[in-house]
Amino acid sequence: MKTRKLVIFGDSAFAEIAYECFTHDSEYEVVGFSVESAYLTKSELFGLPIVPFEQIEEHFAPGEIYFYAALVYSQLNRLRTRLYQSAKAKGYKPANYISSRAFVWHNVELGEHCFVFENNTLQPFVKIGNNVVLWSGNHIGHHSVVNENCFIASHVVISGFCNIGRNAFVGVNATLANNVTIGEDNWIGIGVTIVKDTEANQLFKGEQPEPVKISATRFFKVKE
């Protein structure tokens, strides 16, 4: 049963995914979308209006409508954070989405304006700050903290007693050992393994290996 009305900020792929999740797996009814006027290129999505963020109050009443800013990790999460804060300042209420297919232990502390996709595991005593995205299939180990404005991509392993600093991005298949503290504004790339504390504002790139000289078909003796 739908008990709350929701506007989604954005009209990109994440906005489309958010629409699906909120529509089919939450108490929220999506009633429209909003985009800053400089980026407004179409008038509707899924048959619902897209209105300029600068004039959103003319279309959706503050205090009655919830919102979710469906933006990824652009500018180290600053864009999503700015719209989240701006919408709150206008009087709109931040919504959370927690997939019915996520495992969230009963004493997990979850902030506001968070998006938790399917197959996430949040173990006992985990703390998640405001404005955090946990994409699909992550493991957040016991007693770990993910601070505000972070984006955790898919199939990340965060072991126990870790602390992820504000605004951090952790890429697909990255692994963090136990008792690791990640500094704020860190970018941890695809498949990177972190085994010791990092300082603030560090970038760890996931490097793609160079192909070997022999071709794949020759190595596997494939006859054309």
Q: What pLDDT is recorded for position 27?
A: 98
Task: State yes or no: pLDDT of 214 exceeds 80.
Answer: yes
pLDDT tens-place string over residues 166-190: 999 999 999 999 999 999 999 999 9
Distance (Å, whole) CA 198 – CA 57: 43
224 or 47, which is more confident: 47
Q: How far from 155 is each of 79, 80, 101, 132, 139, CA to CA, in Å?
A: 24, 22, 15, 16, 7
Report CA-CA distances (Å) from 195 to 117, 187, 217.
Answer: 26, 15, 37
Q: Helix, strand or coil for residue 81?
A: helix
pTM here?
Answer: 0.95
Backbone φ and ψ of 54, nearest 5°: -65, -25
Domain layout of the chain by residue ranges: 4-95, 96-202
Residue 160 has pLDDT above 80, yes or no: yes
pLDDT band (50, 70, 90) for residue 223: confident
pLDDT band at 1 (very low <50, low <70, confident <90, very high): confident
Q: Which tokens is 144 given?
A: 């770990």
Share of the chain above pLDDT 90, in %: 97
Inform me whether the pLDDT recorded for 224 exceeds 80. no
Does the pLDDT at position 140 exceed 80?
A: yes
Phi, psi at residue 195, to the nearest 5°? -120, -5
The class of domain 4-95 in CATH terms is: alpha beta
Q: Please name the helix (run of DSSP H) or strand (run of DSSP E) that holds residue 139, with its range, or none.
A: strand 139-140
- pLDDT above 90: residue 191: yes
Give CA–CA dist 219/211, Å, rounded.
12
Measured between alpha carbons, how far is 30 from 52 in angstroms, rounded to an integer?
A: 16
Q: How many residues does the chain have?
A: 224
Q: According to the model, what pLDDT value does residue 149 have?
A: 98
Residues 6+ apart with CB under 8 A from 75: none
Contact 43, 27 (CB under 8 A): no
What fold does the segment set 96-202 form as a domain? Answer: UDP N-Acetylglucosamine Acyltransferase; domain 1 (2.160.10)
